[in-house]
Structure 1
Amino acid sequence: MKTEIGIKPANTAEIAKSLNILLADEHVLYIKTRKAHWNVEGADFLTIHRFLEEQYKQLESIIDDIAERIRTIGHYAEATLAGFLAETHLSEESRAKNDSAGFMKSLLGDHETIIIHLRENIDRYAEEWKDAGTSDFITGLMETHEKMAWMLRAHLK
């Protein structure tokens, strides 16, 4: 059944495309956070292990919310690893050392990349694509990533 929510179909297609790129970024960041959670080593292991668990659980929720937003506007969410890797702004990484500071710096950089991307597109959703709902949704995600980045940054002091 056709989705009739007061946004032109061409606009919902662009919104879905943009949100699927964000979904790809979130999945890559989620996997990198899980990798850090599983593999971190050092005297601070338990503290960082627990901290990273909180972070990946937040990312799980974000991922679900983005996919549901895509469905809400009448499109389908990307759901393949190949699709995520083709669309993401982030990159996978290999690490020789599994120290908490190295993982934290890498994850912080990814959060900051997502924050910048979100900030650059907030107005586009509302103004260009006439979707204040997604603009508001993206603003909330940006604020969540800003707080997660702050927590990572605080660990690096």
Structure 2
Amino acid sequence: MASRKPASASKSAPAVDIGIKAGDRAKVAEGLSRFLADSYTLYLKTHNFHWNVTGPMFNSLHLMFMDQYNEQWTALDQIAERIRALGFNAPGSYAEFARLSSIREQAGVDAPEWKAMVTQLVEGNEAVCRTARKVLATADKAGDDPSVDLMTQRLNIHEKNAWMLRSLLQ
């Protein structure tokens, strides 16, 4: 897979020189792009389930999903801005997200029942964690402490979300 394209710079703008080699920045930006795609896909799924949840757990899940998608929405901007700080363009289309994401959408238009929603969100949060760990390792090797910090923060949140959601199924 080709790495993310560098952000276009005007002829008067200096090259990115933040103390991380260009090749390392490209590897981290590629990983962050995959992480952004996973995060956006999970955000969409969580928001969809917020809208469409029914059943005896409606109120609890409706509120839990809202808290999670609101937090996820804010994080998307932080991830994209980190890609930009590394000197690369962030992906921003459904086509790019679909190509980059490890989280696959479920076929069909009918909303699943609440337990299936919760199961899918556990799996989605865990997928985001797996991607974050890969990016964290790449960023750590490159000496990119801000990206390591961002991935550590995101891991903490998504691991907690997966645990809380999984607890509903026990």
TM over 0.5: yes
Alignment of 1:1-157 (within 5 A): 1=13, 2-94=15-107, 96=110, 98-127=112-141, 129-157=142-170
Q: Which amino acid aligns with 1:36?
A: F
The normalised TM-score by structure 2 is: 0.85
Aligned pair count reads 156
> How far did residue 54 of structure 1 move?
0.4
Distance 1:39 1:58 in 2: 19
Distance 2:38 2:129 in 1: 11
Distance 2:19 2:44 in 1: 36
Q: Which amino acid aligns with 1:131?
A: D
The normalised TM-score by structure 1 is: 0.92
Unaligned runs of 5+ in 2: 1-12
Q: Which amino acid aligns with 1:59?
A: Q
Work out the percentage of aligned pairs sharing the same amino acid: 32
> How far did residue 97 of structure 1 move?
5.2
| Secondary structure at the counterpart of residue 79 of structure 2 | helix
Higher helix share: 1
User: Do the aligned partners of 2:36 and 2:76 also contact (CA within 8 Å) in 1?
Assistant: yes
Superposition RMSD in Å: 1.5
> How far did residue 132 of structure 1 move?
2.2
User: Do the aligned partners of 2:31 and 2:134 also contact (CA within 8 Å) in 1?
Assistant: no
Distance 2:138 2:28 in 1: 9
Unaligned runs of 5+ in 1: none
